[in-house]
Amino acid sequence: RKEVEQDPGPFNVPEGATVAFNCTYSNSASQSFFWYRQDCRKEPKLLMSVYSSGNEDGRFTAQLNRASQYISLLIRDSKLSDSATYLCVVAIRDNYGQNFVFGPGTRLSVLP
């Protein structure tokens, strides 16, 4: 079983739609959680950290369920510019420092 799994995608949605991405992780000792977005042929960029209480940033809402080892990202009122691959990232601190594990990503295409 992979350490971090995401919806396989791709998701093709019309502008204005609401879309939700799911992510599960296997290591119960995971400490920090993030969503990154990656545009085609570009580097991943931090979209938002995910906090235990859930957090919102404009049209984006992230949720964390530690008991179920599940993270989600909700995008409301999708824009064309939201088209990208969304990476779920889980981090754990070990003896050597930080270990970041990336999910395979879910590709989103927002259509006009």
Partner 1 sequence: DVKVTQSSRYLVKRTGEKVFLECVQDMDHENMFWYRQDPGLGLRLIYFSYDVKMKEKGDIPEGYSVSREKKERFSLILESASTNQTSMYLCASSLKIGTGTYEQYFGPGTRLTVT
Which residues contact partner 1 by CB under 8 A? 31-32, 34, 41-46, 49, 87, 89, 91-93, 96-98, 100, 102-105
Q: How far apart are CA 70 and CA 66, in angstroms?
A: 6
In the bound complex, what is the minimum distance in angstroms from residue 17's beta carbon to partner 1?
A: 26
Q: What is the closest distance, in whole angstroms, from the C-beta atom of residue 2 to partner 1 in the complex? A: 9
Closest to partner 1 by CB, 5 vs 17, is 5
- The token pair at 57 is 């940033």
Residue number, 97 or 112, with CB nearest to partner 1: 97
Question: Do residues 94 and 81 make contact, with C-beta atoms less than 8 angstroms apart?
Answer: no
Considering beta carbons, is residue 45 or 79 the nearer one to partner 1? 45
Q: What is the Cα–Cα distance from 5 to 26, expressed in whole angstroms?
A: 9
Please count the other Cβ atoms lying within 10 Å of the Cβ belonging to residue 28: 9
